[in-house]
Amino acid sequence: MCELNSGPKADSSSSAKPSILAHNMSLDAMLQRASKLVAQSRSYIGQAANLITVYTSFELGRYIVEEEQQGSSRADYGKQVIDALSHSLTQMYGRGFSTTNLKYMRQFYLAYRDREESVRQLQIGELIEEGATGIRQFKIDESQSLPNPRIRPFRLSWTHYLTLMRIEDHTERDFYEREAFDNNWDAKTLRHQYGSSLYERLLLSRDKEDVMRLANESATPQKPQDLLKTPFVLDFAGLEDKASYHESDLEQAVLDHLQDFLLEMGKGFLFEKRQKRFSFADRDYFLDMVLYNRFLRCYVLVDFKADLLRHEDLGQMQMYVNYYDRYVRLPGENPTVGILLCKRSDQALVELTLPEDAHIYAREYKLYLPDKQLLQRKLAEWLEESS
Would strands 360-366 and 232-233 be described as parallel, antiparallel, or unpaired? parallel
Mean pLDDT of 276-285: 82
Mean pLDDT of 290-295: 94
Separation between Cα atoms, residue 202 and residue 225, nearest integer Å: 11
Separation between Cα atoms, residue 175 and residue 69, nearest integer Å: 31
Indicate if the pLDDT at residue 54 is higher than 50.
yes
Q: What is the mean pLDDT of the chain?
A: 77
Compute the half-sphere exposure of residue 273: CA atoms within 13 Å on the CB side of its CA: 9
Query: Mind listing the pLDDT tens digit for each residue in 242-256?
Result: 545 577 777 788 888
In this predicted structure, what is the pLDDT of residue 322?
A: 93
pLDDT more than 90, % of the chain = 20
**Contact between 369 and 333 (Cβ < 8 Å):** no
**Contact between 304 and 245 (Cβ < 8 Å):** no
Indicate if the pLDDT at residue 298 is higher than 80.
yes
Mean pLDDT of 208-231: 68
Separation between Cα atoms, residue 201 and residue 372, nearest integer Å: 10
Q: Coil, strand or helix: which one is 376?
A: helix
Separation between Cα atoms, residue 265 and residue 184, nearest integer Å: 16
Indicate if the pLDDT at residue 299 is higher than 90.
yes
Separation between Cα atoms, residue 123 and residue 128, nearest integer Å: 9
Q: Which is higher by pLDDT, 175 or 149?
A: 175
- Exposure string of 337-359, with b = 16+ CB inside 10 Å and e = fewer, is bbbbbbbebbeebbeebbeeebb
Indicate if the pLDDT at residue 321 is higher than 90.
yes
Separation between Cα atoms, residue 59 and residue 106, nearest integer Å: 9
Instruction: Indicate the range of 48-52, 152-156, 305-309 predicted with least confidence.
Output: 48-52
Query: Mind listing the pLDDT tens digit for each residue in 63-105?
Result: 888 887 775 555 666 678 888 888 888 888 888 889 999 999 9
Indicate if the pLDDT at residue 319 is higher than 50.
yes
Query: Mind listing the pLDDT tens digit for each residue in 27-49?
Result: 777 677 777 777 766 666 666 77
pLDDT band at 18 (very low <50, low <70, confident <90, very high): low
Query: Mind listing the pLDDT tens digit for each residue in 55-74?
Result: 888 988 988 888 877 755 55
Q: Letter for the amino acid at 176?
A: Y
